[in-house]
Amino acid sequence: MSLFRVDPDHPFRGPHQGLSQAEHGASLSQARAVMVMVHGRGATAKSMFPLADELAQPDFHFRAPQAHNHTWYPYSFLAPKEQNQPGISSGIQMLHDVLQDIAAAGIPREKIMLLGFSQGACLATEFAARHPRRLGGIVAFSGGLIGPDIDESDYTGSMDQAPVFLGCSDVDPHIPKERVDKTEEIFSKLNANVTKQIYKGMGHTINEDEIKATRRIMADVLNS
């Protein structure tokens, strides 16, 4: 079973549709750029905003969608895809709709970043790889493409050298390094400008080096 790809004429309806979005930072009308933040399993949209504060960019508007029951999909991202439906398809539709709303407010796609942690990073990378285009940047902390194996034919198109940052531990209990490597390979084939950092012995967390890498992408978005 192939994973869902958004059809603008036939939007998907699932558990995440109609749920709230949290906002932080500059107002959308005043912001020079936007970051969409995708939370991990068991978390909330607002739980991403301490990270937004650490990123320390007052010219950004931060938008975080909320997953139904705090979980984008029920099982490991390596489980058979059917077991994680309709959560994944509903989450992908949610990210599409959030980006559409932001673009409709007048923010160019090149000024919109997508960042996720853990389960949120898996959803963010899957969305970006299935709908490749030039965004301001994709940041995945401790995550990778979804499914027990990766069918490269699912991912076609060009990201037009959009920056992608992948950061993960070499011993992450949830995310095998091999999947991060494969995610890097797929994004490179999609003509993204990929930076991958594997941190020796790190836990399932976010470190200062990853924060600094994200700040650099944000600065480039503002200066472009």
Global confidence as pTM? 0.97
Average per-residue pLDDT for the chain:
96
pLDDT of residue 2: 56
Distance CA 187, CA 147 (A): 16
Q: Does domain 21-223 have CATH number 1.10.150.110?
A: no
Is the predicted pLDDT of residue 3 greater than 90, yes or no? no
Residue 4: which pLDDT band, with cuts at 50, 70 and 90?
confident
Average pLDDT over residues 198-224: 97
Is the predicted pLDDT of residue 20 greater than 60, yes or no? yes
Q: Where are the domains of the chain?
A: 21-223
Q: What is the pLDDT of residues 30-61, one digit of tens each?
A: 999 999 999 999 999 999 999 999 999 999 99
Q: What is the pLDDT of residues 141-174, one digit of tens each?
A: 999 999 999 999 999 999 999 999 999 999 999 9
Is the predicted pLDDT of residue 72 greater than 80, yes or no? yes
pLDDT of residue 85: 95
Residue 1: which pLDDT band, with cuts at 50, 70 and 90?
very low
How far does Cα 67 stand from its chain's mean position?
13
